[in-house]
Structure 1
Amino acid sequence: MTQDTYPKTEGDARPFASEKFTEATRIPMWDPETDDVLVCRQVRQETHDVKTFLFSGREPRDFRFYPGQHMTFELPVEGMIFRSYTISASAARPYRIEITVKRVPGGPGSNWLHDYMVPGKEINVSGPAGEFTTDATADHKVLFISAGSGITPMMSMTRTACDLSEPSDLHFIHAARSPSDIIFREELALLAAQNPGLKLGFTCDTASAQHSWTGYTGRLNMQMLSLMTPDFMERKIFCCGPASFMDGVRNMLQSTDFAMERYYEESFDFGAETAGTVDDPTAAPEISDQTFFVSFSKTGHVVECGPGITLLSAAREAGLLPMSSCQRGICGTCKSILHSGEVDMQHGGGIRQREIDQGKILICCATPLSDVVVEL
């Protein structure tokens, strides 16, 4: 309740009850500039190789994020690695953060989380960040298409839409290896039963008799898509999954003359281009026509950096292999220290202002404006 719910009676000098309630229960907002620690509160096994990790702040915090955004986790593996994971929770439930992670064979980040993240353990994070989002409660037709763990941003959008109001017209198609690999299968069925505006479709690569599978079998194709969502040509389409899966969906839609400006995709390889977005030429930074020397303090390498070349590209030119992921200043993986010189850094939220004030930069989106020395 808010103060405006019940008006005060004229002449009543007593403290208004809802004012006391509001003051007593007001929870500070999560501030990405100052807050950077989450505490694991619960771990749920979703499938045989997928877990959901539920976090909150050390003290209660009100998280504000758009469904589909991600957070970057600092994981104590091989010294320290950074991994970005999509928030799978509903944005309408702002006091917790959930990520849903598939164990990847040989994947240092996912394996560490599966093996060592337990209730009570703390982890350093940054974010939320990301631009892959939509309002599934709006008055337009939407189609989500996902595969594997690419279901996570779609699940956040779907949960949010169902929490806020019934989705007006949302179709959700998911592809999995087998029926037992369908993440959130039971919850999605429940949401669809409670929300007539939500329609589901599944296809599995393989299905055994023990699963009593009555859905589609095989890779998603045009015939399946037309049967599950006959009016897909009229919808906004959001796609997420392995690169090969998204390539297939994109090619399939292009073959039907679908209006690709209504197609949006998100990849867990943040370096991939995102369809449905257009660069704004007015927002492009000025590029110096000068050439500068870039020195890497740890290795002693020095390279010449031409106009518009990022420090990450310069490092690779020097034969170095610094950790990086998104190459757009979003994930924070390539964070380093600028010891001297000036750079132009057009980041996308992967670094805090206080870190910039401490001399840290993201080398994937920083171009030199002078000779520079970088800690690599």
Structure 2
Amino acid sequence: MTATVPRRPQKVSFRDRLLRLAETVTTPLLPADYLDLVAPLHSGVALRGRIVAVRPETRDAATLVVQPGRGWRGHLPGQYVRLGVDVDGVRQWRAYSVTSAPGATDRRITITVKAIPDGKVSNHLVRRVRPGTIVQLDQAQGDFTMPAATPERVLFLTAGSGITPVMAMLRAGLPARADVVLVHSAPGRDDVIFGAELRRLAASGALRLVERHTDSAGLLGVHELDDLVPDHTERETWACGPVGLLDAAEEHWAARGVAERLHTERFRPTVISPGEGGTVTFTGAGVSVEADGATPILDAGENAGVLMPSGCRMGICFGCVVPLRQGAVRDLRNGDLTTAVPGDGVLIQTCVSAAAGTCDIEI
């Protein structure tokens, strides 16, 4: 004879009961969806950051102090981060070097931006953005970094905002581990980003600083390094700045037979012109279609025979999220524009996004 033992009722915690009640109230969304609105930096959402301070550096440059969300995995000195910010209703993405040393106790990072003529995003960040602004973040990336075994002698060749990735290396203690020479070019003394800090390091003997003020002394020619830094081809060198400087440096180091000792970081231009509709290319499928500004990209792809991921088709479930490789799309719910250039890693919901110009979808 088998005895049946009554099953004890499972205890449900007060917290679980509250969550279940919340889910019934917020259906079809989950409480976490609403948490995004009140706690945008919590770990369950796409990585974001809050600008907590804006510090002027020069007349056209400023440092943003950013508190990243809990998903931030840190950075190596010299790496950059892609930052997404809404400017006049358009989500714009740009890459900026992280200028702080890793491992701050408050987990905050700094990003230093130089405003360029007609630069929509850079001018917004330097002159208009305010503390409290929420920005989108990507994880840090880039290989413009020091190797595990620090070279004994290091040369930095920089101009303008090219000093920004180098600053993180200096702040991380590189001068204590290597013989460092920094050759930096800027229009004038007051235009040198981090000028006061660099001069203090030089005065303390931590590094040798060579400043070139182009308004009075003209552009720096790479051939001048023979006199300025006689052993420059024997040093492991990191160069960052305008294209002309980097092209000349690469030719110079190659001509001396030491091209492998030169490491460069190039900033890329970004030109996106949003419009109404455009050519949508599904890169993986090798299919391009013309789509108007009112047709969801999901529908445009399916109508062209592309196998598209989808779910609710209402912008709720996020089952249709794919990368926007480049171009511009418009959110059909509110008209917001999102732009991207190759490498930005921007994700979009195809069921509620329409083409706002030529765009490439990674699928």
State the TM-score, normalizing by the size of structure 1.
0.61
Report the Cα offset of residue 122 of structure 1. 2.1
Give the alignment of 1:11-22 within 5 angstroms.
none
| Alignment check: 8 A CA contact 2:99 2:111 kept | yes
Aligned to 2:220: 220
Identity %: 28
Aligned to 1:167: 177
Q: Which runs of 4+ in 1 moved over 3 A?
A: 30-35, 193-196, 294-305, 310-315, 322-325, 335-339, 363-366
Aligned to 2:188: 178
Question: For structure 1, which runs of at least 5 residues remain unmatched after alignment?
Answer: 1-29, 208-216, 272-289, 316-321, 340-362, 369-376
| Alignment check: 8 A CA contact 1:72 1:82 kept | yes
Aligned to 1:202: 211
Q: Distance in 1 between matches of 2:211 and 2:153?
A: 19
Aligned to 2:287: 293
Tell me the alpha carbon deviations over residues 49-86 of structure 1, each in whole angstroms, 9 at most, x when there is no partner: 11111111467x87521111111111112421111111
Q: Distance in 1 between matches of 2:166 and 2:177?
A: 13
**The one of 145, 162, 166 aligned to 1:150:** 162
Aligned to 1:268: 267
Letter in 2 for 1:244: G
Q: Distance in 1 between matches of 2:84 and 2:227?
A: 43
| Alignment check: 8 A CA contact 2:325 2:345 kept | no
Letter in 1 for 2:100: A
SS in 2 for 1:110: helix
Letter in 1 for 2:133: K
Question: For structure 2, which runs of at least 5 residues remain unmatched after alignment?
Answer: 1-40, 271-283, 307-322, 329-337, 352-358
Instruction: Pick the structure with greater CA Rg.
Output: 2
Report the Cα offset of residue 92 of structure 1. 4.5
Alpha carbons of 1:311 and 1:42: their partners in 2 closer, same or farther (altered >3 Å)? Answer: closer
Q: Distance in 2 between matches of 1:136 and 1:158?
A: 15
Report the Cα offset of residue 112 of structure 1. 1.4
State the TM-score, normalizing by the size of structure 2.
0.63
Report whether the alignment pairs 1:96 with 2:108. Answer: yes
Q: Distance in 2 between matches of 1:135 and 1:118?
A: 36
Aligned to 1:38: 49
Report the Cα offset of residue 131 of structure 1. 1.8
Q: Distance in 2 between matches of 1:338 and 1:35?
A: 17
Tell me the C-alpha RMSD between the 2 structures: 3.6
Aligned to 1:332: 345
Q: Distance in 2 between matches of 1:99 and 1:314?
A: 25
Tell me the alpha carbon deviations over residues 329-349 of structure 1, each in whole angstroms, 9 at most, x when there is no partner: 3x325x44567xxxxxxxxxx
Q: Distance in 2 between matches of 1:270 and 1:91?
A: 27
| Alignment check: 8 A CA contact 1:40 1:120 kept | yes
Report whether the alignment pairs 1:116 with 2:128. Answer: yes
| Alignment check: 8 A CA contact 1:136 1:161 kept | no
Report the Cα offset of residue 169 of structure 1. 1.2
Q: Distance in 2 between matches of 1:269 and 1:294?
A: 26
Alpha carbons of 1:314 and 1:150: their partners in 2 closer, same or farther (altered >3 Å)? Answer: closer
Alpha carbons of 1:54 and 1:232: their partners in 2 closer, same or farther (altered >3 Å)? Answer: same
SS in 2 for 1:72: strand
Q: Distance in 1 between matches of 2:150 and 2:203?
A: 20
Q: Distance in 1 between matches of 2:79 and 2:162?
A: 13
